[in-house]
Amino acid sequence: MKVIKIITLIGMVFMISCSSVKVHSDFDGSADFTKYKTLEFYGWAEESDKVLNQLERNRIEKAFGAEFLKRGFTGVEENGDIVVSLFVVVDKKTSVTAYTNHYGGGYGYGAGWGWGYGGYGGVGMGASTTTYNENDYLEGTLVVDVFDAKTKKLIWQSVGSKTIDENPKNAERNVAYIAEKMMKPYPVQPIKNK
């Protein structure tokens, strides 16, 4: 059962710091999200294994599983009410900054009285220097697609993108943060403990 419909490419979230994550989501307004109780994980879309290793994929799956669990879902091996798939991609980007310094220059005017009227004025020359800096960085994008298992229709999608911090020290905490941000727009919110 090939249920993957990738609309947007998204990237490496496994090593991202906790600064801002850009999230865009969309959903099928005719779907009754309250009727879905079980989820089946379809897996990763093609090429994701070239970007993420098994540890990183497991970390992301665990984080999203926890977010669905907070919403009352039970994970099943097959025949779930919804099918969840993930896709990741990384893009190399460049940012440019410019800084301008101004040196010297000026103007003046003066007047004097005496046997006659005298005046003077002047303009001085100055110089400016502009420095440009280019910085290469990686932007990762992760896509989470949710399908109605019976109709095979895409009912919800969340796309998160972020500059990648390649320090894996806090990877698990960072991935949990990203999953939480990406799941926030899901039409069913986490169940509050009584």
Q: pLDDT (tens digit, 9 = 90+) per residue, 89-110?
A: 766 666 667 767 767 665 555 5
CA angle 10, 4, 160 (to 5 degrees): 20
User: Cβ(141)–Cβ(91) under 8 Å?
Assistant: yes
Residue-range domain boundaries for the chain: 22-94+136-183, 96-133
Note if the pTM is more than 0.75: no
Q: How far is CA 148 from the centre of its chain?
A: 25
Looking at residue 67, its pLDDT comes to 96
Q: pLDDT (tens digit, 9 = 90+) per residue, 45-70?
A: 777 777 788 888 899 999 999 999 99
Looking at residue 190, its pLDDT comes to 93
* Per-residue pLDDT tens listing for the chain (194 residues): 333 333 222 333 333 334 588 999 999 999 999 999 999 999 887 777 777 888 888 999 999 999 999 999 999 999 999 999 998 876 666 666 776 776 766 555 555 555 555 555 555 566 777 777 766 655 678 899 999 999 999 999 999 987 766 666 777 888 899 999 999 999 999 998 74
Q: How far is CA 76 from the centre of its chain?
A: 29
User: Cβ(158)–Cβ(183) under 8 Å?
Assistant: yes
Alpha helices in the chain (DSSP H): 54-70, 171-183
CATH annotation of 22-94+136-183: 3.30.160.670
Can you tell me whether residue 93 is helix, strand or coil? strand
Please give the Cα distance from 134 to 90 (Å, whole number).
19
Residues facing 40 on adjacent strands: 76, 83
